[in-house]
Structure 1
């Protein structure tokens, strides 16, 4: 009886609880005459962004508004020769090229190639043993008929592509003893034309891999027992876009060699600022039959000279 009484007395308490009502006001204070003040900082910020963007356009702009290279340039035979001469002359004026030439020996094929373009200078060393580097121009003395089926030396050779043969400096054994590094460490000077892009003005990434493959292979050959190898692994790290119609330096070095394997690395840099744009690592493996290559009368070093 006591419990029932308590329940009866407490029930009306809950019935007397009034619902809670909340009133929200949608009106915000908006003093007259001040609603236009936000336009001043917004206009100033927009103008500043436009000026900065016009002066230093973001690298993503070509990818957004010009996704593909629209047209390839075609040149006549006379224009092709003139363009090749222009690139060859500019190549020899690069500060890096002049610096390395002062410590180099020039192979006969490299000398003959530059003289065909009317470029003349005195190479300080007449004996490769006394020089730190050897200057080589790959494929410069090969019959053009034999180059037709080759990629970089044939199909990609010409105006607005690879207009000039690669300019290669390979470190000599004496140079490695004097300045450090390994025999075969190299510097390759290359020029990319405007017809070699994936996006407008930006060199195709696959082409950069091809350039590294050939440059690193040349260096790796010096670290293999019989100076011949095939690509076992190639790894690239693209840091910044590589713009077309410019000169670049590809530095290559032997990291380690063990038996029939040679580990090499390289960097692609702007020829003037030396800013690193692409890095690469590779492993080259010498085939088992390479030890018989000399019996076939093939001189690998002679082929590397051009």
Structure 2
């Protein structure tokens, strides 16, 4: 009996010990699905908010077509209609501004020639002037070809537009046909989305003999957000 009990004990000790293994939980990949969805949704929203089918055509297909091309004419007419229905156009006329038609300078080729392409500044800017305050407002359309980062207008383009409006303001305020930029200082407040109209306005005019110091700001097409502020000094 003793031997039988001993054998049973030896078998018990020699038998392999069963281990209780806890299965490690797999990491959830739901965050990847949500991140993909969020990115796709965000890009889709940007495209639909800031780019129409006509704008896509302008970016890729209107470079080498003649000026009387039907598609190009429709694209420009669409931009003109959008500009005419901006609230700011109606508001300016109600507060003492009148539309002025500038004799654009032959030396000002960047706005009127180089950037004056579909997807760039596709239609000429429009200017409004208040003779009592000597303040000028310009409205420019900035297309998708003027981007630096995707959907965002290049800072150099914004500087060019700001200077262009200031130069026009000098000619209106001083009644001269030529001026010289002495310096221009800009403060970028917020990214500017492409494929929208921007409003550039003079907020203050300081005159010292033949020299003028202009304070200006560039806003989105609603006029609710200031995107760039600047100060320019000019001589006549």
Whether TM-score is above 0.5 comes out as: yes
Q: Distance in 1 between matches of 2:193 and 2:172?
A: 31
CA contact (8 A) 1:80 1:158 kept: no
Q: Distance in 2 between matches of 1:46 and 1:159?
A: 38
| CA apart distance, 1:281 | 1.3
Unaligned runs of 5+ in 2: 1-19, 44-58
**What's 2:98 paired with?**
134
**What's 2:74 paired with?**
82
**Pick aligned residue for 2:22 from 33, 37, 49:** 33
Deviations 1:93-114 (A, max 9, x none): 11111222334xxxxxxxxxxx
| CA apart distance, 1:232 | 0.8
Q: Distance in 1 between matches of 2:227 and 2:72?
A: 29
Number of equivalenced pairs: 199
CA contact (8 A) 1:257 1:263 kept: yes
CA contact (8 A) 1:138 1:165 kept: no
**What's 2:211 paired with?**
261
Q: Distance in 2 between matches of 1:157 and 1:222?
A: 23
Q: Distance in 2 between matches of 1:90 and 1:241?
A: 22
Q: Distance in 2 between matches of 1:147 and 1:263?
A: 24
CA contact (8 A) 1:137 1:166 kept: no
> Given the alignment of the two structures, is residue 151 of structure 1 paired with residue 115 of structure 2, yes or no?
no
Q: Distance in 1 between matches of 2:34 and 2:209?
A: 61
Secondary structure of the residue aligned to 1:161 is: coil
Which structure 1 residue ranges, 4+ long, deviate > 6 Å from structure 2?
A: none
Deviations 1:231-250 (A, max 9, x none): 11111222333232211111
Q: TM-score, normalised by structure 1?
A: 0.55
Q: Distance in 1 between matches of 2:179 and 2:110?
A: 18
| CA apart distance, 1:137 | 3.2
**What's 1:169 paired with?**
128
Unaligned runs of 5+ in 1: 1-30, 58-69, 104-131, 174-181, 287-306
CA contact (8 A) 1:242 1:277 kept: yes
| CA apart distance, 1:215 | 0.5
| CA apart distance, 1:217 | 1.9
> Given the alignment of the two structures, is residue 212 of structure 1 paired with residue 173 of structure 2, yes or no?
no
